[in-house]
């Protein structure tokens, strides 16, 4: 008989090797009486972390990373089927909440889509508003979700003036929500001058930056371990 530890190791390796079929097989072998859903999620998450390292080191391309994320999602989907309690309200409420979108005046959303997928795979509750999103929609989403983080994307310089207005409004209305920005026009200095709390150079660095912001903003915020 295969031990639970070996199965969890196989689950981690299946994600980092982009083997979607093996993920479902590994989850199906787990005895839910002796292995908690948290153990399974942690194994899947370790696979994502390894995939992020592969990307950083040039081993994975963006398509490779996206397949690994699909493998992670397959594992989560199968876990929901065999353990309905996994998706209890408490589980969802424990996740840090991120509202993300491309600001009004910009329709380039490929980078944003990858960031949203990576954040979801890293354990965040992601509310993706899409592209060309009006300021009012961002503010309403922060209010209704009680977002911990507002993630704003722009690939052109033309919407930056409007983004600055949005950041100022969000800062005034929701002072406990951290703001992170990213996209082609940005570097750390511009992000700071725009009034953002953080800047992510790419999708791989986003989870590290958001974790820093969660720690900085409040000790009672929900943290990613």
| pLDDT at residue 27, rounded to an integer | 80
| pLDDT at residue 96, rounded to an integer | 94
* Predicted TM-score (pTM) of this structure: 0.77
| pLDDT at residue 90, rounded to an integer | 43
- Contact of 112 with 131, CB cutoff 8 Å: yes
- Token pair of 98 as six digits: 């991120």
What are the b/e assignments for 142-168, b being 16+ CB within 10 Å?
beeeebbbbbbbbbeeebbebbeebbe
DSSP state of 179: E
Q: 95-217 in CATH: which number?
A: 3.40.50.280
CA distance to 75, 94, 144, 156, 219, per residue, from 78 (Å): 5, 21, 29, 39, 33
| pLDDT at residue 224, rounded to an integer | 55
- Token pair of 141 as six digits: 């989403």
Instruction: Give the count of alpha carbons within 13 A of 79, CB side only.
Output: 26
| pLDDT at residue 222, rounded to an integer | 55
For domain 4-90, give its CATH number from 3.40.50.300, 3.40.710.10, 1.10.1240.10, 1.10.10.60.
1.10.1240.10
Sheet holding 97-102, edge to edge: 125-128, 97-102, 149-153, 178-182, 198-199
Alpha carbon distance 37, 17 (integer Å): 22
Domain ranges in the chain are 4-90, 95-217
- Taken in order 167, 186, 100, 94, the sign of the CA dihedral is negative
Closest CA to 153 of 103, 97, 210, 195: 103
Exposed/middle/buried for 184, CB within 10 Å: 0-12, 13-18, 19+?
exposed
| pLDDT at residue 106, rounded to an integer | 96
Q: pLDDT 10s per residue in the chain (225 long)?
A: 567 788 889 999 999 999 998 998 888 887 766 677 778 888 898 999 899 899 989 999 989 998 999 999 888 888 878 776 555 544 566 789 999 999 999 999 988 998 998 898 888 999 999 999 999 999 999 999 999 999 999 999 999 999 999 999 999 999 999 999 999 999 999 999 999 999 998 888 899 999 999 999 875 455 555
- Token pair of 213 as six digits: 């912001």
In 83-173, which residue ranges form alpha helices assigned H by DSSP?
89-93, 110-121, 135-145, 160-173
- Token pair of 94 as six digits: 């424990």
Closest CA to 14 of 33, 1, 29, 31: 29
Please identify which residue in the block is written with the tokens 């070996």.
6
């Amino acid at each position: 008989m295969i031990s639970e530890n070996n199965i969890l190791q196989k689950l981690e390796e299946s994600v980092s090797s982009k083997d979607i079929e093996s993920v479902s097989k590994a989850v199906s072998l787990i005895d839910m009486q002796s292995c908690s859903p948290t153990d399974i999620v942690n194994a899947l998450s370790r696979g994502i972390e390894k995939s992020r390292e592969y990307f950083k080191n040039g081993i994975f391309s963006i398509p490779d990373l996206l397949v690994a994320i699909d493998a992670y999602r397959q594992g989560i989907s199968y876990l929901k089927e065999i353990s309905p309690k996994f998706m209890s309200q408490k589980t969802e409420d424990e996740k840090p909440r991120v509202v993300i979108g491309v600001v009004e005046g910009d329709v380039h959303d490929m980078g944003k889509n990858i960031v949203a997928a990576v954040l979801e795979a890293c354990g965040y509750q992601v509310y993706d508003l899409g592209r060309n999103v009006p300021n009012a929609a961002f503010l309403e989403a922060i209010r209704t979700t009680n977002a911990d983080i507002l993630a704003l994307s722009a690939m052109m310089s033309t919407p930056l003036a409007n983004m600055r207005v949005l950041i100022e409004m969000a800062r005034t209305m929701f002072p406990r929500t951290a703001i992170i920005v990213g996209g082609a026009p940005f570097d750390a200095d511009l992000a700071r001058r725009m009034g953002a709390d953080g800047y992510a150079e790419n999708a791989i660095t986003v989870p590290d930056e958001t974790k820093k912001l969660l720690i900085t903003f409040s000790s009672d915020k929900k943290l990613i371990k």
